[in-house]
Amino acid sequence: MAQKDVGNKVPIYKLKKTEEVMKYYDEWGEGNKYDKDMVDWNYTGPKETSEVFIKHNKNKDAKIYDAGCGTGLVAVELKKYGYNNFYGADLSQKLLDLVPQGLYQKLEKVDLNKPIQEKDNIFDAVMCVGTFTFGHVKPPALDEFIRITKNKGLICFTINEGIHEEYGFDKKIAQLNKDNKWKEIEFFKSDYIASKDVNAWLGIYEVIKYCLLYTSPSTRD
């Protein structure tokens, strides 16, 4: 099936390099233009993803890593449902500076294409909305999300439909399924940015981590 050409729907989709993306976001954040555009474009990614997440996680104290948090749109949505334990990471310091005061426990400027400086098995969930898109974060980040998430924790994300196959997310997800790194709960196409006719794949997966029982040397053959 032929895919829609969505690469020219939004100006930032034309950028390929991390430095270009960071510069664009820093300028986009001036005068709070980013948040205004999200409203004008009817960007539904944070709302849709949050609604899916709360169906499968009832722990309001869940420790949530918001990967590519931007100005905090996902946390704002989840806070409406009583969640409040957020840790945010984004490439743009300008967008981080626009996050509402006190919304996150911690905010950090992070390049998610590099190893995340967090301990293993520390988060109950990872949210990643609007970050798997043109010129942004690549499929290997999913390995890092799994690493920092606890056994049976949730990873909830969107993937811009235009890069799902082009960047190899389809193959990466298939491999993680095959390797029993996680279990699919839901995976479907969402509206995302309906006004621009840009859809995204929305997925939520449960992390699987097997604990090997230690056998003392004296009991081995």
CATH code, domain with 98: 3.40.50.150
What residues contact residue 26 under an 8 Å CB cut-off, 6+ apart?
A: 92, 93, 94, 95
In a domain, 38, yes or no: yes
Closest CA to 6 of 203, 166, 214: 166
SS3 62: coil
Please name the residue that has the structure tokens 């967008």.
95
In a domain, 25, yes or no: yes
In a domain, 215, yes or no: no
How many structural domains compose the chain? 1
Question: What tokens appear for 4 in the block?
Answer: 């829609």
In a domain, 214, yes or no: no
Which domain, by its residues, includes 19?
11-209
Question: What tens-digit pLDDT sequence spans the chain (221 residues)?
Answer: 344 555 566 777 877 777 888 788 888 888 878 888 888 888 899 999 999 999 999 999 999 999 999 999 999 999 999 999 999 999 999 999 999 999 999 999 999 999 999 999 999 999 999 999 998 999 999 999 999 999 999 999 999 999 999 999 999 999 999 999 999 999 999 988 878 888 999 999 999 997 644 444 544 34
Distance CA(122)–CA(159), nearest Å, equals: 24
CA 154 to chain centre: 11
In a domain, 221, yes or no: no
In a domain, 126, yes or no: yes
